[in-house]
Every structure is written in C-alpha cells, then in structure tokens.
Structure 1
C-alpha cells in the first residue's frame, strides 16, 4: 500500500455533519458535490426500488455516489484522490424513512418513531483507482414517547428537513432519545471507526 501523495480525499457529500466528523479525526478533504437540483438531471437517484430491502438500498445508493463522484473527478481532470461517499437511512419495522419534504411528513415520521426503537443504517464507500471498499453500519435508536407539544415545536424548527427520519441526534432531538446501541457518529451520518479503517486501506495516514 502506497501513501497518498498529498494525504487528501474528496468527500462526495454536502452534509455539514459529515464535514465536521471528518475534521474531528483529522482528515484533509475537498468537497466534490453531485448534482441533485430539480432543474438538472441528478447524478444518483435515491428512489427506493420495488421490494428493495433497507440494507441493499443504502449500500446501492452509496456505491453509486462514490462511482459517480469518481467519474466526475476524472471528467474534470482533477487530481486523483480517494473518493468517500455515504448515505444514511432510518428504518422502522422494515419501512425506509427518507428526508421529510414538508412539515406534515416530518410530523408523521416523528409520530411513528415516538416510543419505538428504530434502526439507523449508514453506508460508506471509498473508491480509489481499482479499489472500491464499502461498509454499512447499523445502530438502534430508542425514542421516548413524544407529546403533541414536543412534536409541534420540533417540526416548527429547521432541524427535521435535511435529515433522514426527520431528526438529527446532534441537535435538539437528542432530548427525545432514551437509548442508543451502536455508533453515535454512524447515527450522525459517518461511522468514524469504519471510515478511518477504509481510508487507511487506500493509503491515507493519520497523525
């Protein structure tokens, strides 16, 4: 395994939480954004396929993001570096919860999660030359029973609307969570232990 020339990667994600997590473990990165605008064709569709299981869904989307970002890097003739992509989904009783499109969807999602234990699946993929590494981390999150006032106040904030399942563990929704079993950073959007392991395998070094 050779050391990377500038010990730097591309992050194929617009998530500020993933950027924060990479900085936490000292990863030097540049953002390589995929298209997701309604006015242009998307690079990767996040539509769930018929009868697709949650683990298969999140893995497929993450791998597609990593491959699309690698192709974009080559097309733009950017310096060759490993590409890291990730995708997170929330699952309750086999049902995939994406990002709520509006207040009504957020309220319905959080009402369903209230008093229940759900799963958070975060898949990561690293693509570098002929290497393609992937891992999916699963955590269990238990919500307390939420009352109408809690639901209304949270849905009136900006927090639910860019997050799978309509909540973020790093925000004010933390007060709803009575127990987690798994990876806090994975629930947040990037399991750091597994991410560091995959990046080390493609040559990234950590001080």
Structure 2
C-alpha cells in the first residue's frame, strides 16, 4: 500500500526547526563514511555496511539507474555531522533506498511518546518523491525544497509502529532528470509544541483578523 501526501504538508513542517535533532529513536545520523554506490545502464546496485550510526547496526544503500549515465548515493561524515547524498548525472533518472531490515520489533513510538518520523533535507534542486515504508506500508510525499519533512504515524494504516522489523526510506526522481538531494538526519520524534510566546502571537494575530472583519 502506498499513500502519497501533498507537497503542502511537506512545506508546513519546516517550522519544526531544531526539533529535527530531538529524536527519541534515531534511525540514522549518517555520521560515517559509506563509499558511493553507483548504478549505470539500467542496473540496480546495493552496498551494506555495519555502523553504529544506523538503527539495527547496519545500513544498506540501493541505487537503481532508470535512464542516463550514472545514479549515485552514499554517506559521508564531517566535523559538522554526517549526511546522505543522492545524485543523478545530467540527463539521468534514478532511485535510491536506505534499507534497515531485521530490526526485531523496534518501538518507534517510544512507548507512545512519538507520533511521527522526521527527516531533515538540507539540499534539493528539482524536487523528488520521498517515502518511508514500514513493514510493507508506504507513505510518500513530493518534496520541492529543503527543510524538515514529517511522516505522521497515523498515515501508516496497517503497520504496527510499536514493533517494526523492516524500514525503508526511498528517494524517487519521479520522471525528472538530474535530481540531487542531501539528507542530514532521520528519526522518530515527539513534536515540540509552540512556546507560550508563539501561542500568544498566534492568538493576537487571530484577534486582529477578527477585529478587521468586524470593522469591514
């Protein structure tokens, strides 16, 4: 089953800000080096590494070249933290997956505290379809710009988020040539509510809007 959410939902979660780093269940920080996986000529190529930075202790990167010269994905670490990168050469379409399998029943809700997956996209040029598959149930959305994007647990109907065995994060060029993206972080989080000042501001703005309507 695959549910595609609107890009409006993706844009709305940019307001999570620093909450992206407050995951109670980290899926992957990418704070290690995994050699680029390169696919060409319509091939599908994968590579698996053992790493303490990924849930379950290992990360598999799979790259499918749909058309064109080369599609490439990998992980790289730096002083500023790790990143996952996915790129397609000029005139190339491709797909990539991050696979975390054999998890043995991970509770991504953290005993009911968490309600969504959060992913930090630090760079993207042309937009692509990004999805998360939990034990065969896929939720995806079209991402057009950088920022934090959320996948609500409630959208994964039929999947038990308290006992997950396999999780896959997918990146699909969706028929667009030369798509590139960089992801900094993936985790399961408990959304941080707006601080009191933010709520007061929203209340004030609402009051101004009502006053304007009454005076019209």
TM-score (norm 1): 0.31
More helix by share: 1
More strand by share: 2
Q: Which has the higher contact order (CA 8 A, sep 6+)?
A: 2
Point out the structure with max Rg over C-alpha: 2
> With structure 2 as the length reference, what TM-score do the two structures score?
0.30
